[in-house]
Amino acid sequence: MAGASRRHDDIAWGGGLLTRIDPRVKIAGTVLLLAVNLYLSSWAFSAALAVAMLLLMTLGHVPYRRQLLAVAFPAGFTIFAVASQALFSGEEVIASLGPVAIHWDGLLAGLVIALRILGGALVVVVLGVSTPMNHLALALRWFRVPLLFVELLQLTYRYLFDIYAEFTRMREAQRVRLGWSNRRAGLESSRLLGGALFVRVYDRGLRAGEAMRCRGSGPVVAGSLGRPGRIDLVSVALLAEFLLIFMNI
């Protein structure tokens, strides 16, 4: 598991500012920020939270391309929230096209919801890109999360990379055989790739499960976490200051 993390989580293993913070502190801070983000009906807090997470990723030397990819996923939900609120909620109409009307107060409410989604999603993204999976699993066990859940999380994480590697190999084999030379061939290759990948992954899952049962399916979580250091205390102090500023507004 650690080997898979080192290959794919290059930022989490890079030794940057965020990666040196204890994962227990990061998990507790993530849960606290998510709870406050849901509790406070404040667009200012959600906007400041999103900006702070982007700054943390910049300070943690996360490439801008990855930052854009991280923002792109929750952006789809924010667009849906804004559109649904503007079209189906509110009373003051600012524009209309036949039976479809855009409401000003609904648009404002949708923007607030979008900021809350974006802020909360970026908090989880920062936790993910700055914490290796094995450290995250050890921290979850420290919080007394059931071992079965932690092992399933680790195995799923590891298996996703196997699926991606298998997909890459199969797609490259199709490309060498000119399976993507034109649009029609590409559609046919996509259909074959989807079916073959499903069968291959299912078969590999059966073999992996049988191998684990033969070996006794021992515990996946191994190792221990050290004591929190000075950087962890500074992180807690900054987090508390950030929350106090908005709780007193």
pLDDT of the residue at 220: 57
Q: What is the mean pLDDT of the chain?
A: 79
Chain segment 66-122, per-residue pLDDT in tens: 777 777 878 888 888 888 888 887 777 888 777 778 888 888 888 888 889 998 889
Amino acid at 135: H
Residue 228: pLDDT over 50: yes
Chain segment 124-153, per-residue pLDDT in tens: 888 888 888 888 888 888 888 888 888 888
Q: Domain residues of the chain, as ranges?
A: 14-142+227-247, 147-214
DSSP states of 85-130 = HHHHS-S-EEEEETTEEEEHHHHHHHHHHHHHHHHHHHHHHHHHHH
Full-model pTM: 0.74
